[in-house]
Amino acid sequence: MEAQARGLLETEPLQGRDEDTVASADFPSMLSEEEKEELKAELVQLEDEITTLRQVLSAKERRLVEIKQKLGMNLMNELKQNFSRSWHDVQTTTAYKKTHETLSHAGQKATAAFSNVGTAISKKFGDMRNSPTFKSFEERVETTVTSLKTKVGGTNHGGGSFEEVLSSTAQASAQSSAGGPRRAEEEELQC
The pLDDT value recorded for residue 13 is 58
Query: Over the stretch 160-176, which tens digit does the pLDDT of each residue have?
Result: 667 777 777 777 777 66
The pLDDT value recorded for residue 191 is 47
Query: Over the stretch 1-40, which tens digit does the pLDDT of each residue have?
Result: 445 545 555 556 556 566 666 555 566 678 889 999 999 9
Query: Over the stretch 135-158, which tens digit does the pLDDT of each residue have?
Result: 788 888 888 888 888 877 655 555
pTM: 0.29
The pLDDT value recorded for residue 47 is 96
| CA 42 centroid distance within chain | 58
DSSP 88: H
Contact 159, 142 (CB under 8 A): yes
Residue ranges covered by each domain of the chain: 35-92, 94-149
Over 80: is that where the pLDDT of 186 sits? no
CB crowding 114-151: b at 16 or more within 10 Å, else e: eeeeeeeeeeeeeeeeeeeeeeeeeeeebeebbeebee
Write a three-state SS string for 89-145: HHHCCHHHHHHHHHHHHHHHHHHHHHHHHHHHHHHHHHHHHCCHHHHHHHHHHHHHH
| CA 183 centroid distance within chain | 56
Q: Which helix (H) or strand (E) holds 6?
A: helix 2-9
Over 60: is that where the pLDDT of 180 sits? no
Q: How far is CA 14 from CA 1, 8, 21, 65, 113, in A?
A: 22, 13, 10, 37, 65
